[in-house]
């Protein structure tokens, strides 16, 4: 059995940002227009008037101040309220692959080795752009990598599931180096007309190279990986290939992201905290000795609570990294952005935890030690 190392990471951040104020301004214009257009039906009690959103609520409930998106104009236009992302011809690199390739090139440059050393590409994200061919194979081809590639989707937990898959390939000898990418266009499956969730997500791509320890210089030893899934309907998106076959047509408005946010909060925080503590115990690690937590970035209050449970005290901002204020929830990429942006200052022997949680429910823990 071979040990695996996180050897390098990369990050692609889209050029356009939308502040809470900008997002709420367009949402509230949409609400005003909707209520004016439906004034009679609302007065008759046939239609429920829409309520405005507020930047203060968003910041307080989630900690999010801003988000990056692949297209801003469509989202902030109250007559459109969705990103405008034109289809590309098959001969062109698709947009999700393009984001992943940009993040991957950064990781490969930081790694400093030729792509021929990579044996597998995993595209791990909460939505693939198409059914097939697999995004991973297009990304593999664009980067000139040999071996094989495949897609995997475990919603917000896709990256930790991807790291574990890569580490297992390395342990078994199936691969010596694996590229794992997380391109997320969350704005494409977000309902910007829904007050409860219109502020939650942003777009981004991350990349991680996992390598056999014998081959690695520096990086992070992967001390242990653990995955958990428990079925729940509290976060769901019913978009899928059978929508087209439903005799009633697209029907209900559940073909975009929907959630019971409060229930998710209540159920996921204890599940993840317990999982982290149990996994640390099984690895003989003292959780209080963790130098840094790179948790999934969905909600500041969730991360505060999990951080407190894991460290047994209020973590400092340096210990419990938060990037969701600038990026919002970027699904699988969140914990990897946190790791990528806040790990260079750590020194040999420092312990950290990459942890994801989200739809499924799903959760993944990856304990690492700086080499």
Q: Which residues bind ligand CO8 (CB under 6 A)?
A: 53-54, 57-58, 61-62, 126, 155-156, 186, 189-190, 195-196, 201, 235, 257, 259, 261-262, 264-265, 298-299, 302, 329, 331, 358-359
Look-up of token digits 């690695």: 216
Q: How far is the CB of 176 from ligand CO8 (least distance, A)?
A: 32
Do 70 and 96 touch, CB atoms closer than 8 A?
A: no
Contacts 24+ apart (CB under 8 A), 134-138: 135/94, 135/96, 135/97, 135/100, 135/183, 136/181, 138/93, 138/94, 138/97
Active site residue 123: no
> Residue number with the shortest CB distance to ligand CO8?
358
Residue with Cβ nearer ligand CO8 (58 or 159): 58
Measured CA to CA, the distance from residue 330 to residue 200 in angstroms comes to: 9
Residue with Cβ nearer ligand CO8 (252 or 262): 262
Q: How far is the CB of 126 from ligand CO8 (least distance, A)?
A: 4
CB atoms near residue 43 (< 10 Å): 10
Q: How far is the CB of 201 from ligand CO8 (least distance, A)?
A: 4
Q: How far is the CB of 361 from ligand CO8 (least distance, A)?
A: 8
Residue with Cβ nearer ligand CO8 (140 or 182): 182
Residue with Cβ nearer ligand CO8 (252 or 349): 252
**Which one from 123, 156, 186, 355 is the annotated catalytic residue?**
156
The residues assigned a catalytic role are 156
């Amino acid at each position: 059995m071979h040990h695996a190392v996180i050897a390098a990471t990369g990050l692609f951040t889209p050029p356009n940002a939308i502040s809470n104020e900008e997002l709420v301004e367009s949402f509230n214009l949409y609400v005003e227009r909707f209520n004016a257009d439906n004034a009679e039906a609302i007065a008759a009690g046939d239609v429920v008037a829409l309520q405005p959103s507020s930047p203060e609520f968003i910041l307080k409930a989630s900690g999010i101040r801003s988000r990056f998106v692949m297209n801003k104009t469509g989202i902030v236009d109250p007559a459109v309220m969705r990103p405008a992302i034109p289809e590309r011809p098959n001969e062109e690199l698709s947009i999700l692959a393009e984001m992943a390739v940009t993040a991957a090139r950064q990781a490969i440059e930081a790694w400093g080795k030729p792509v021929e050393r990579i044996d597998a590409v995993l595209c791990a994200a909460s939505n693939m752009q198409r059914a097939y061919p697999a995004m991973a194979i297009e990304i593999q081809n664009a980067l000139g990598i040999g071996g094989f590639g495949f897609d995997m989707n475990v919603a917000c937990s896709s990256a930790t599931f991807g790291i574990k898959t890569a580490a297992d390939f390395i342990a078994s000898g199936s691969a010596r180096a694996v590229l794992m990418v997380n391109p997320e266009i969350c704005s494409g499956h977000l309902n910007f007309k829904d007050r409860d969730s219109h502020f939650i997500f942003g777009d981004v791509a991350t990349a991680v190279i996992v390598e056999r320890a014998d081959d690695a210089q520096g990086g992070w030893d992967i001390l242990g990986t653990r995955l958990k899934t428990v079925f729940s309907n509290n976060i769901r998106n019913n978009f899928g290939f059978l929508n087209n076959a439903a005799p009633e047509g697209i029907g209900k408005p559940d073909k975009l992201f929907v959630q019971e946010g409060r229930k998710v909060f209540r159920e996921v925080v204890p599940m993840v905290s317990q999982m982290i503590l149990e996994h640390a115990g099984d690895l003989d690690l003292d959780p209080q000795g963790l130098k840094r937590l790179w948790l999934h970035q969905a909600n500041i209050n969730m991360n505060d609570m999990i951080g407190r449970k894991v460290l047994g005290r209020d973590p400092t901002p340096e210990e419990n990294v938060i990037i969701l204020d600038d990026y919002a929830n970027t699904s699988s990429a969140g914990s990897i952005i946190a790791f990528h942006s806040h790990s260079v200052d750590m020194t040999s022997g420092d312990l950290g935890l990459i942890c994801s949680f989200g739809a499924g429910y799903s959760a993944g823990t990856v304990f690492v030690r700086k080499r």
